[in-house]
Every structure is written in structure tokens, then in C-alpha cells.
Amino acid sequence: MRPTSVSRRAALAALGCAAGSLTGLAACDAAAPGGDGQAGSAGSGAAGDQGPARDEPADAVDALLASMTLEQKVAQLFMVTPEQLTGVSTATVAGELTERALAELPVGGLAYFSKNLQGADQVRALLDGTDRLARGAGAGVPPLLGVDEEGGSLVARVANSGLFDVERFPNMAEIGATGDAARAAEVGRAIGTYLREIGFNLDFAPDADVLTNPDNTAIGARSFGSDPDIVAEMVAAEVAAMLDAGTLPCAKHFPGHGDTAGDSHIGAVYAERTRAEIEACELAPFRAAIEAGCPLVMVGHIETPNFAGDGLPASLSPTMMGNVLRGELGFEGVIVSDAFDMGAITERFAPGEAAARFFAAGGDLLLMPSDLHLAYQGVLDAVRAGSLGGERVDESARRILAAKRRAGLLP
């Protein structure tokens, strides 16, 4: 389909012209070569600046958006692994399969895991090649290239790979125990710097969960601790430092995974605390992250029966994403889901239904659906049937483009 307003070249040219304090934190109790991989099968700015104001840069984003087809806009709303994109079992290079897959479905971003990291030069070539191929596909929009790099021994794909000479840190529980936010800033600055130098532009960190359940094994030492004030201070410091280093941070897992007993990778998980408890405790680090200018917040597959009470995980809940994250906390950036191939989603919803519901509920960037093509088609079908408004797609695509512009991905 042809662009409907301005040309892609004109829109990108227009983009060339564009280039916190913590409040209200309450305490709570801690108790509560041509190929794309190996032999394969087919089948994670400035403070206070979450997004652009309505000025020239925003108008340039709108110009690019206006040049995109509906299919290109919807494709931007998905972030997947290279395996989900291409169908290989382990993707280690960006070659002909990646090129063909992006031509068919020019997704908004790629997320990488340990198996994709096999050599320092290989990783750099993989990221550079993917970026180059994405810029040549669809509307020519460069991709988000993300990784889970929280630091510590548990979730640090790059540092723990042993492939790069980068600074390594203890688990965030140890950083939080110092009570020194400068340590968290050091983590954000170092990780943000080495990720940018390698070729990543997005880090699914920091972990903003308050560990209110000491028996929680899904989060555990990944959290800065059980005191919401300390966690909030640490999260804000890491966010600001990572932004200064030139990498986009993403605070997770809203509305807080620290109280849960289960693991959303397997099935539904619940935060049983009351609305007052969650607002005073679990939401404090997310408020701090937003006030520090965090451009992305990851919403978890966490049900809150004593808060939203809608029987839905937060990642599908209009109450949690719309009323609370957007309304109460004032977040204007990109709402990204936790991975939609997790049991908490796949046990209850088909890929197309889950994707359409996520965007209808107010989400922006859907991470790792269990079937990319079914999820993508489900969103297109919902728009064409009128159950998902085209303006809702535009809102999310605009936020994603604005985040990319903030990361320096758009010229």
C-alpha cells in the first residue's frame, strides 16, 4: 500500500529536525552464510520526559506515523525474539531469513536471550545486521533491540555470558541493602553504557518490585528490597543514570511482582494485597521511575483480586493499565507487556484474542506472543471489525516512535 499522507523520506527528514524528584512514597511491611541461525525448526532522556510534548518533534513523529499503512503501524506494536520472527530454533546471525521475515512483518523490536549471544563480534554483527535490515523494511523504522540486563547473578544476559569485558554487579538486593542510591546509579550508568556500545538500545530493567513476600522465588534477590522508599530511590537513580548513558530503561513488573507466590511463566499469579496496600507500597517505585522520566513500563501478568477485582491479569486489565498506570500515576510513555508466551496468558487466551485485548485495554508494545502471525492478524481483524479503534493503534504506534526518537534511532 502507498503512503497516505507524506512520503517516508519526507517524514524521516522531518524527524531530523527533532532530535526527578520522588514524592508521596509510603512505607509498608516487608512481611507481606545467508541463513539466520543454526539448524532450526519452523515452528526484556531527561528526567521527567517520558514522551514528547506537542511541539515540532511530536509533529515529526506524527508525520512519520501518517506515512505508515495500518499493517505497518500494527507491526510496530510487536516485539519478538528473532526465533519467533524467523522460525529458526536459535538465531545467531541476521541474514536472508531475517530480511524476508521483516519484509513480511516489520516488527517494532527484537528481544534477545542468552542463546543468541555466542561471541562478542557475533552479537555486534547480529544487532547491527538486524538494525540495517529493519531500516530497509516496511516504513523504514529502526527497531528496538532489547535484552534483560538487570545486573547480578540471576538476570544479566550480557555480563553473565562471559563474552564481554564489562563491569559485573551483585544482585540488586545487595545494592539496595547499602541504602546508597549512588550505587544504583552506578549500575544504571555502567549497564546503559555497555549495552549501547554493543548495539542494544533497550534494557528491560530496573526491577521495580518491592519484595513484600519473602518466600517469592520469581523475584527474590532481583529486587532492591522490601522497603518501598528504598526501592523507589534506587529505581529512580538507575533509570536516570541509564537514560544519561543513552539506553532506554523499562521499569518492571507493574503493579508489582514482589507479593506473588507463583510464577507467571507457568500460570496465573495473584497479588492478594488490598488497594490501599498496593498503592502505598508496590506502586511507589513505579511512581519514582515515572517521575525520573522512565520511557517504558512493563506490565506483568498479575491479578489483583482485592484491587482491580476484574479477574484479569494487569497485562489485560483496563483498570490497571488505564485507570491506575495512565490515570493515577500519570504515565505517558510506552506500556509494554511481559512476555505473552507465558502460561498466565496462553492457558486462558488464544494469541489473536490476547493481543487484541491487550491493546484494547491500553497497552502499547506486546512482547513475545506465542504465535506472532496469529497475534498480528488478530489485531488487524479487530481493527477491521471495529472492536479495536484505529485511533487506539495510532496512539500506541506514536508512543513507540516517540521512544525510538528519544533513543536516537530516528534521524
Helix (H, G, I), strand (E, B) or coil at 203: strand
What percent of the chain has a predicted confidence (pLDDT) above 90? Answer: 81
pLDDT higher at 321 or 268: 321
Residue 32 is predicted with a pLDDT of 34
CA-to-CA distance for 326 and 58, rounded, in angstroms? 19
Query: Tell me: the pLDDT tens digits for 94-117?
Result: 999 999 999 999 999 999 999 999
If you average pLDDT over residues 242-253, what whole number do you get? 98
Helix (H, G, I), strand (E, B) or coil at 109: strand
Instruction: Please give the class, per CATH, of domain 74-406.
Output: alpha beta
pLDDT value of position 34? 45
Residue 11, CA atoms < 13 Å, CB-side half-sphere: 22
Answer yes or no: are the C-beta atoms of 60 and 15 closer than 8 Å. yes
C-alpha 102/C-alpha 205 separation (Å) is: 26
Which tens digits make up the pLDDT trace of 265-320? 667 788 999 999 999 999 999 999 999 999 999 999 999 999 999 999 999 999 99
Threshold 0.75, pTM exceeds? yes
CA distance 183 to 237: 9
On the 0-12 / 13-18 / 19+ scale of CB atoms within 10 A, 61 is buried
Residue 5 has pLDDT above 80, yes or no: no
pLDDT at residue 213 is higher than 60: yes
Mean pLDDT (the chain) is: 88
Which residues are designated catalytic? Answer: 338
Residue boundaries of the structural domains of the chain: 74-406
Residue 49: the pLDDT is 55
pLDDT tens by residue, 132-165: 999 999 999 999 999 999 999 999 999 999 999 9
Residues forming beta bridges with residue 335, ordered by sequence position: 297
Q: Retrieve residue 159's grid coordinates.
A: 555480563
pLDDT at 125 over 60: yes
Model pLDDT, residue 323: 98
